[in-house]
Structure 1
Amino acid sequence: MQAVIPFPDLSSEILSINLFGFELALRWYALAYIAGILLGWRLVLRLVKTDRLWPGGRAPMTPDQVEELLTWVILGIILGGRLGFVLFYRPGHYLQNPADIVKLWEGGMAFHGGLLGVMLALILFCRKHRIALLSTADALAMATPPGLLFGRIANFINAELWGRPSDVPWAVVFPGEMAQYCPGWDQVPCARHPSQLYEAGLEGLLLGAVLLFLVYRRGWLRVPGQTVGLFFLGYGLARFVVEYFRQADPQFITPENPLGLVLHWHGYGISMGQLLSLPMVALGLGLIALARKRA
């Protein structure tokens, strides 16, 4: 018999309160966003207060500007993440039901869209205050891995974005009819890769640890653009690899294309997540090369 790990008895809600007939719930996913943003904010504050880490021994912005930047980043995450999900993953549905776009409580956020939203917010913020774009981007790159770590753990608790069917010893039996719908898989119950935890480990723990080491021990912030370049490169590679273990979104899966590849030929191809990660890898390599050339 296959050795599997049953899904832990976890609720997506931490607590709920009935207030004047309305049920208000605090969910793990919301807490993950809050914790990631707050921890990233504190990390950036610490960085800008340590002048020796920056080019010329001077941080690119003040603590007060970090406070304002936080608001811009939150808006970029929410608006970009939602629009990214709408455009990248379910454009047909939202074209027919445009009112559903604002229903954030029903879920649906795309990391790549949120990243684009933050990048736009960052450019506008730096132009407004006339501060160094690449150094500010380096600071935000340092702040991002904690949010990725907490967000992916919340995905696991919510039993969403699970992986492909697998018989590895650490495969998890996720609850729900969709998780147990595994065409062509003869193992019952159907266990899957905990791909959310793979991403938490690679994008959150590993990438965050590497960035911290290079910034505090190797002085990478003194070369503007180098740190954010490594973030783009590291995230793009991590996401590309994990996509081999992650279940594709249902709208991409057909009987002829069971893996849900968006570009495929004779069973080989890449998923939407991999397609969106390739520009990040190219951008990361380009930023690192440009930064070293300028240095």
Structure 2
Amino acid sequence: MILTSLSAAVIDASSGIRWDGLGLDPIALDLGFFQLRWYSLAYLAGIVCGWWYMLKLIDRPGAPMARRHVDDLVFFVAIGVILGGRLGYVLFYRPEYYIANPAEIPQLWDGGMSFHGGVIGVSLGLLYLARKHGLNWLRVHDYVACCIPFGLFFGRLANFVNGELWGRETHVPWAVVFPGGGDLPRHPSQLYEAGLEGIALGLILWFLFWKTDARYQPGKLVGTFLLGYGISRFLVELVRQPDAGLEHLAWGLSMGQTLTVPMILGGLYLIVTAKGRRERVEPIAGGESIA
């Protein structure tokens, strides 16, 4: 829908594409007493696609978990994303506002999620799951990392449909004038992130999983995800409009860039040390051992 609307729009390099003229509506279904938003559907689509893809991944020899574990995994990932993402946004980006307006914290439909907080929430959930079932927590993280780009892709498209998290002022031919951004044409940074974090990173992880032995080196896939996301987000932050007051912190980076630094360093460490963790992998669901 977004791509069709953009291609049909009349582009004026001096004024940009007007978001209001794209025919987008944050509400997918309005029954009066009930509203279903694209933002909610994006989360559902990410979880369903991730669940479907996870079943494909664990069907390969040497999987770190069985089908019976996947249902629990989906539950913990969903809870981790929602609670971690929302609390991360509240604590990292707008703590003063939400301290003054605590009743708005649960209002997820209005947007405001931190991916970095979501990563922490998901990791805690996976640690609990691995401990509960005696699984290799790092290998479980590897498999989950391959599924996350689905959610990132749909989530960033939903950000665009919501007209939120837009970029800095620009006059590139595809600049968009967002309702909350004044009359200034801006980078559609949400679409940049959908392409980098969703499509590009997803393809890299697909290649590593299916065409190499990366899944037998615990930490390599999740390290690649952290590094790829960190670099993508750091670069997009150069054209993305940061939250007020968080653009230039004392050390010269925005809050979004600052939060990617630990991800980049952690990802590099996991990738470099992954080969040393390779060992005989015993499948959970039966089948041959993978050396």
Identify which of 29, 41, 46 aligns with 1:15. Answer: 29
What's the CA shift for 1:101?
A: 2.2
Q: Taking structure 1 as the reference length, what is the TM-score of the superposition?
A: 0.86
- Counterpart Cα distance in 2 of 1:116 and 1:30: 21
Offset of residue 222 of structure 1: 1.4
Counterpart mapping for 1:42-191 below 5 A: 42-51=52-61, 58-174=62-178, 176=179, 178-180=180-182, 189-191=183-185
CA displacement at 1:251 relative to structure 2:
4.3
Residue equivalent to 1:282: 265
List per-residue Cα deviations over 1:217-274 (Å, max 9, x = no partner): 112111111000000000000000000000011243xxxxxxx21235xxxx210000
Number of the residue aligned with 2:212: 218
Decide whether the 8 Å contact of 2:223 with 2:271 is kept in 1: yes
> Does residue 242 in structure 1 map to residue 231 in structure 2?
no
CA distance in 1, matches of 2:177, 2:209: 40
Q: CA deviation at 1:100?
A: 2.8
CA contact (8 A) 1:28 1:157 kept: yes
Deviations 1:94-117 (A, max 9, x none): 223333323333332111111100
Please provide the CA RMSD for this pair: 1.4
**Secondary structure of residue in 1 paired with 2:262:** helix
CA distance in 1, matches of 2:107, 2:186: 29
1:164 maps to amino acid: R
Kept in 2: contact 1:172–1:191 (CA 8 A) = yes
Partner Cα distance (1:278, 1:208) in 2: 21
Please, which runs of 5 or more residues in structure 2 have no aligned partner? 1-12, 279-291
Give TM-score, length-normalised by structure 2: 0.87
Q: Distance between the aligned counterparts of 1:29 and 1:142, measured in 2?
A: 22
For residues 121 and 200 of structure 2, what CA distance do their matches in structure 1 show?
24
Larger relative contact order (CA 8 Å, sep ≥ 6): 2
Secondary structure of residue in 2 paired with 1:14: strand
Distance 1:122 1:213 in 2: 24
Tell me, yes or no, if the aligned pair for 1:149 and 1:203 is still in contact at 8 Å: yes
1:255 counterpart residue number? none
Kindly indicate whether residue 25 of structure 2 is the aligned counterpart of residue 31 of structure 1.
Answer: no
Number of the residue aligned with 2:248: 261
Q: Percent identity?
A: 50
- Structure 1 gaps, min length 5: 52-57, 181-188, 253-259
Q: Secondary structure at the match of 1:50?
A: coil
